[in-house]
Amino acid sequence: MSLDVRPAVSLKPFNTFAVDVRASLFAEAHSDDDVRQALGLAHARAMPVLVVGGGSNLLLTADLDCLVLRMASRGIRVVEEQDGQVVVEAEAGEPWHPFVLHCLEQGLAGLENLSLIPGTVGAAPMQNIGAYGVEIKDVFHSLVALDRESGALREFFLTDCAFGYRDSLFKQQPGRWIILRVRFQLQREARLHLEYGPVRQRLSEQGIEQPTPMDVSRAICSIRSEKLPDPAKLANAGSFFKNPVIPAEQAQLLKQRYPQMVAYAQADGQVKLAAGWLIEQAGWKGFREGDAGVHRLQALVLVNHGQASGLELLNLAQRIQADILERFGVVLEMEPNRY
């Protein structure tokens, strides 16, 4: 067996919360064959498999009695180009932000608003990651995944994926699909999205009146760097809570009580609230208990100041959830997957 399988491995380097728990077995998959070997080994030992990418959407609360398989396959290629439309395929283990930069450097637009998001290409469709008015579904072409039930490869196109707000078929059917490679529909001629958040303002401050996709990427990197801590310096998993979507009637009543509340009308008539605003209003911004805390600049981000356990971080998140429900009557949903 060419697959390198190691026992009793600390997962601290493999999750951006830097929580120190151990996996019974650990392996990295650099190819489709590695994935199949890992599944075969786990089946032979009657052991569960947890597939991870960059570990940026994980909250680990205990040692894992399973085989943790980290997707580490690499490779980027153009598979189709016609009339300025370019389909780019990337292996699941490609780090997300370097992949975005690679595409921009090749003159391919579409991913610039998704700059500086942690994680890997293979994990991106799971959450339908999004930022600054763009989601994966807006640039998605197709992907190839392994069906763990049948062992067969399946190709998924946009309508197959059931993409929603931080949601997808792959999240709805946890453990069934292993995403091997993803294809994106990009453009030679940019159609920039500058309306969401402070992107246009930041470009204006930089004296850029006719921005390129790379300009947009740099502006978004600048904004994100000011608001969100670098996991390499302060352990975190990015936005910890989803922005809640509530009925318009409830939003109207809250707006009467809190005129400064940040809210966005949705196409279906509901209203999306800014979870970070709610948490900050409740006084949690900058809170710290032991090494578990809320970031001092962005209330949406929980942080590990050093030695916090996953259970301590989970307990803090649950306290915030309960407080927001009591104060505002709004349910906050956690983004990271918890194990």
pLDDT tens string 228-253: 899 999 999 999 999 999 999 999 99
Predicted confidence at residue 2, as pLDDT, reads 80
Q: Which residues contact 267 (CB under 8 A, 6 or more apart)?
A: none
Q: How far apart (Å, rounded) are the C-alpha atoms in residues 212 and 81? A: 21
Predicted confidence at residue 94, as pLDDT, reads 98
Q: How far apart (Å, rounded) are the C-alpha atoms in residues 50 and 69? A: 6
Q: Write the DSSP symbol of residue 160.
A: G
Parts of the chain belonging to CATH 3.90.78.10: 235-338
Predicted confidence at residue 337, as pLDDT, reads 92
Q: Which residues contact 226 (CB under 8 A, 6 or more apart)?
A: 297
> What are the structure tokens assigned to 151, written together?
């062992």
For residue 196, count CB atoms less than 10 angstroms from its CB and return exposed for 0-12, middle for 13-18, buried for 19 or more. middle
Please, where are the H alpha helices in the chain? 32-44, 96-105, 124-127, 169-172, 199-205, 213-227, 248-257, 275-281, 310-328
Parts of the chain belonging to CATH 3.30.465.10: 76-227
CATH match of 5-71 with 3.60.20.10 = no
Q: How far apart (Å, rounded) are the C-alpha atoms in residues 214 and 90? A: 20
Question: What positions carry a catalytic annotation?
Answer: 166, 239, 335
How many beta carbons lie within 10 A of that of residue 97, not counting itself? 18
Closest CA to 228 of 316, 135, 131: 131
Q: How far apart (Å, rounded) are the C-alpha atoms in residues 48 and 248? A: 43
Closest CA to 52 of 18, 29, 85: 29
How many beta carbons lie within 10 A of that of residue 94, not counting itself? 24
Parts of the chain belonging to CATH 3.30.43.10: 5-71
pLDDT in tens, 90-125: 999 999 999 999 999 999 999 999 999 999 999 999
**283 in the Ramachandran plot: left (φ > 0), alpha (ψ -120 to 50) or beta?**
left
- Class (C level, CATH) for 76-227: alpha beta
Predicted confidence at residue 215, as pLDDT, reads 97
Could you say which residues of the chain have pLDDT below 70? Answer: 1
Predicted confidence at residue 1, as pLDDT, reads 53
**275 in the Ramachandran plot: left (φ > 0), alpha (ψ -120 to 50) or beta?**
alpha
Q: How far apart (Å, rounded) are the C-alpha atoms in residues 186 and 139? A: 7
Topology of domain 235-338 in CATH is: 3.90.78
> What are the structure tokens assigned to 8, written together?
């009793």
